[in-house]
Amino acid sequence: MPDARQQIEEQAAEWMLRLHEGELSEAQRLAFECWKQQGPHYAAAAARMEAVISRMQALRGKKSPARAALNAAFAEKKARRGKRALRSLLLAGSLALPAAALLLSPYPQQWMADVRNGPDQWQTLRLADGSALSLNGISAANLHFDATQRRIDLLQGEILVQVAHDQARPFIVQTAHGSLRALGTRFVVKREGDSTVLTMLESRVAAHSADARQTLEVAAGSQALISTDSVRLTGSIDPASINEAWRRHQLVVENRPLPEVLDEIARHRTGRLQFDRAALQGLRVSAVIPLDDSDHALQLLAQALPIKLRAFTPWLIVVNPDPTPKK
């Protein structure tokens, strides 16, 4: 009798709400007990609902991630449409992207960027003026190209720029920390926490801090750190090996703390890489690491260093120090 069953379920739901709305009086509690004892279906219906409610309540300690996850579970179709639309706009090759349609999107700024690159991806775009822009890992940039300027706003990640010569329009890469004006050239720009790293491969760039107080001309083979109020040289690099690394999708590191290298690998991974920064800070790395195969990259590090990898789903890998020495 489906109707009778439906009725029992609705009554059970009523009781669930009453239980949640406030303390039941003694009489009410008794009434609920009596209701449940009318038959096996009654108590079972209430028990099933209680089971779901307690599963929900168990997540209250992590409300906002749990909510984000459930939203994602049911926003799926919408999100897919959005991404597809963005991709087709990019395919259209339009540089001055009409962003208005995307402004309504719930995604942060990066998701609406003119060009965006995901983990496990490398792409090189030929720009309208003949310049080339390569992106690696999780990176995003907006392009502003018109009759008077060629400007790239780097929002996140790392790009390599090969600038085509154009006397009339300067070529500028801008970040929150400063701007880099190319004097005809090839260079890499990377955003880190509160600074931008410039690596010069050919010719020169004029680097300005965001507050416009500091300016420095950086020549090929040098690396500079730009923050909102300063520009300084940090050392020299080998342009040939960096060119090669970009070509082969590798990371070249020379005596860097492990957490920095893990940050870099994380930018190239879809899943999350979790580690205790302080515990790993003492380990230093000099290596050439494949970035287009981050699983392999992590394995290489685990072979060379006293660390242990634990994979909990393909989406979560935890790196811990390993106190037992390697054989």
Write the binding mask 92 to 131 for other proteins: x where contact by CB under 8 A, - elsewhere: ----------------------------------------
Binding of residue 48 to other proteins (CB under 8 A): yes
Write the binding mask 241 to 270 for other proteins: x where contact by CB under 8 A, - elsewhere: -----------------------------x
Q: Considering only residues 27, 73, 91, 103, which one is a binding residue for other proteins as defined by CB under 8 A?
A: 73
Binding of residue 60 to other proteins (CB under 8 A): yes
Establish how many alpha carbons lie within 13 A of residue 188's alpha carbon, considering only the half-sphere containing its beta carbon. 25
Which residues on neighbouring strands pair with residue 289, listed in sequence order?
A: 251
Q: Considering only residues 27, 51, 168, 278, which one is a binding residue for other proteins as defined by CB under 8 A?
A: 51
Rounded Cα distance between 104 and 118, Å, is 22
Q: How far is CA 14 from CA 37, 51, 246, in A?
A: 16, 16, 63
Tell me the backbone φ, ψ of residue 322, rounded to 5 degrees.
Answer: -115, 105
**Widest distance between CA atoms in the chain:** 89
Q: Considering only residues 313, 324, 325, 327, which one is a binding residue for other proteins as defined by CB under 8 A?
A: 313
CB of residue 176 vs other proteins: minimum separation in angstroms?
Answer: 19
Rounded Cα distance between 183 and 193, Å, is 27
Q: Considering only residues 274, 279, 300, 321, which one is a binding residue for other proteins as defined by CB under 8 A?
A: 274
Q: How far apart are the first and last CA of the chain?
A: 70
CB of residue 202 vs other proteins: minimum separation in angstroms?
Answer: 37
The one-letter amino acid at 61: G
With CB under 8 A as the contact rule, which of the stretches 73-81, 91-99, 175-183, 194-202 interacts with other proteins?
Answer: 73-81
Rounded Cα distance between 296 and 290, Å, is 7
Q: Considering only residues 33, 38, 62, 146, which one is a binding residue for other proteins as defined by CB under 8 A?
A: 62
CB of residue 192 vs other proteins: minimum separation in angstroms?
Answer: 17
Buried b (16+ CB within 10 A) or exposed e, 78-101: eeeebeeebeebeeeeebebeeee
Q: Is 77 helix (H, G, I), strand (E, B) or coil?
A: helix
Binding of residue 238 to other proteins (CB under 8 A): no
Q: Which residues bind other proteins (CB under 8 A)?
A: 6, 9-10, 12-14, 16-17, 20, 45, 48-49, 51-53, 55-74, 76, 79, 270-272, 274, 310, 312-313, 315-316, 318
